[in-house]
Structure 1
Amino acid sequence: MLYRKFAKLLGLTILAGSVIGAAQAESKVVVGGKKFTEQQIVAEMTAQLLRSAGYTVDKRPDLGSSVLRAAQENGQVDVYWEYTGTSLVIYNGVKEHLNPEQTYERVKTLDAEKGLTWLTPSKANNTYALAMQQDVAKKEGIVSISDLAKKVREKGEYKFASNAEFYSRPDGLRPLQDTYDFQFPRKDVIRMDGGLTYQALKDGQVEVALVLSTDGRIPAFKFIVLKDDKGFFPSYALTPVIRTQVLNSDPKLATLLNSLSAKLDDTTLPLLNSRVDVGRESIEVVARDFLKSNGLVQQ
């Protein structure tokens, strides 16, 4: 009789332990990120946000873009922040030119077939852009790429810093110039590593530079991003993407991730990136300050 009671008690203990273990396993979320500052910041913010909500987080930053995407499709990463244009062009091979809303809806539909759910996109669009020094642009009366194109057609005295990829790619410099009906003289196009275009513009070696629109050096160096008034550059809206299986098992993850997405825009992200890249602050501190100041975690 005593043995039976002990066996029953042991069985209940094991069962309870299994239930607790399963619950803990379900609350563990693997958060991924790519190898550059912006991705490291949003991955850290996501990790801190989920931990504050009681989740166990396994953070895996510093992954290559294709490696990270494959890891998510294979179930090794549960959530990371992706750019709509990257999924559209790189992962789904769509060539047609779509506006931001069409781009989001297309990747949302295509990736749903692969077991991935696109949540609410942020207002941060990390796309290629053309930048100038603020004082030079103001003096020349240049606000948009159309303004720049007109000046180049009239004067042709603007040196342009470009990375080699944008210079040669089929959706790069040549179609941009075709769209806006202008052309930089070949001698005025200076090809260099993408990271050097910012310094070249800052030092006055060129008047115009190719940049990524949410790079922290834009506000730090007092650049102005020219308005893409003809919508040439694809939309690269930063958006949380989660495995559908994980979301279905825990729908409140969408609420948490969307609450963070709602706070990110083209003004906020460059400033956060600048604190890390220019101010040399730690990613952990920058992420924590942002979450606290926006009421996403407790003070």
Structure 2
Amino acid sequence: MNRTFVLLLAALVSASSASAKPIVVGGKLDPEAQLLSQLIILSLKNAGLDVTDKASLGDTGVNRKAILAGEIDTYAEYTGNAVYLFPTAKIPATDAGNPTRIYALARQLDSKQGITWLKPANANNTWVVALPEAFASKNKLKSLADLASYLKGGGTFKIAGSPEFFNRPDTMPAFEKAYGFSLKADQKLVLAGATPPQTQQAAAAGTNGVNAAMAYGTDGTLAALKLVALTDPKGAQPVYQPAPIIRTETLKANPQIEGILNKVFATLNQQTLQTLNGQIAVEGRSAADVAQAYLKSKNLIK
């Protein structure tokens, strides 16, 4: 038998085998991550692909290890995480606030790891400081620069957050460095394992004198609890745009996935994610139900 024909046949069999494998979708545990995972799962199933749901796999580190090991094929990641969390993506902090630059660098560097970043949503799920609307209005606090002036003037302030929020260099320490303030121990309520909804509830209720909370920019609980996120005019935080990432091998075997997921994520923006996240975190609806209703409303699935 002709050797070239044999090699071609082997390649076709390999490609057919790869495309026949189920697409394993991972995911993180917070409401938005669950929503994004279900958007991916439902969209791929609608396209007739065989999908395995591992949407509740774990935190960022767990999903990262799983995709590098080939245990999952795709999940939703955030561009900003490439700055600090991934050893394969050493992105200069000066580029972190530029959405185009950070995405391009994350895509370029991860391509060497066999991972392709698809197009991100037009949203920024960055860390923010949230205040009760009444408190912010009374003290004319709209930005972190305003907060710095307020603190230097001796204003009363106590913020609830997780140990990660207070200790990671890209979170509160980045705000303090950029805006020239330093919180004292009694101005922090450190809650081990706290989620943003928990810290925001503490701020809204004034628990233990708390009048501020860690939050994410697309949290659905902000509006529900009448909280406002302070702006970051100096760009101390990196941009955290959600994007599907996928093993390049899987994408080559199923090239239609790129168009499917790019189309879905192109419909997402800040306000849309806040609304959808609120339906999960505040109204108690399942991520799968919220995702399905949204995709149908956009005529993205049947």
TM-score > 0.5, shorter chain as reference? yes
User: What amino acid does structure 1 have at the position aligned with 2:55?
Assistant: P
- What is the rounded CA distance, in whole Å, between the counterparts of 1:152 and 1:75 in structure 2? 48
Q: Compare CA radii of gyration and give the structure with the larger one.
A: 1
Q: Does 1:66 align with 2:61?
A: yes
TM-score after normalising by structure 1: 0.85
Report the more deviating stretch, 225-234 or 90-99.
90-99
Correspondence for 2:86 among 82, 88, 91: 91
The correspondence for 2:200, drawn from 187, 198, 201, is 198
Unaligned stretches of 5+ residues in structure 2: 1-11
Alignment of 1:221-240 (within 5 A): 221-240=225-244
Q: 1:55 aligns with which of 49, 58, 78?
A: 49
1:152 is matched with 151
How far off its partner does 1:22 sit? 4.1
Residue number in structure 2 paired with 1:109: 108
Does the CA-based 8 Å contact 2:91-2:102 persist in structure 1? no
Q: Partners in 2 of 1:67 and 1:184 — Cα distance?
A: 32
CA distance in 1, matches of 2:53, 2:226: 33
Greater mean alpha carbon deviation, residues 287-296 or residues 159-168: 159-168
Amino acid at match of 1:87: A
Deviation at 1:169, TM superposition (A): 3.4
Question: Counterparts of 2:174 and 2:116 in 1: how far apart (Å)?
Answer: 33
Q: Which consecutive residues of structure 1, in runs of 5 or more, have no partner in the other structure?
A: 1-17
Q: Detail structure 1 runs of 4+ shifted over 6 Å in the superposition.
A: none
Letter in 1 for 2:280: V
Which residue identity does 2:120 align to in structure 1?
Answer: P
Amino acid at match of 1:60: K
- Larger displacement relative to structure 2 (270-279 or 231-240): 270-279
Superposition RMSD on alpha carbons, in Å?
A: 2.3
**2:281 aligned with 1:270, yes or no?**
no
SS at match of 1:54: coil
Distance 1:220 1:52 in 2: 33
Q: How does 1:134-153 map to 2 (within 5 A)?
A: 134-153=133-152
Cα pair 2:125 2:218 within 8 Å, conserved: yes
CA contact (8 A) 1:126 1:214 kept: yes
Encode CA deviations 1:126-178: one digit per residue, 9 max, x unaligned. Answer: 22110111222123222111111122222322222232233233444344222
Report the Cα offset of residue 23 of structure 1.
7.4
With the length of structure 2 as denominator, give the TM-score of the two structures: 0.84
Percent identity reads 33
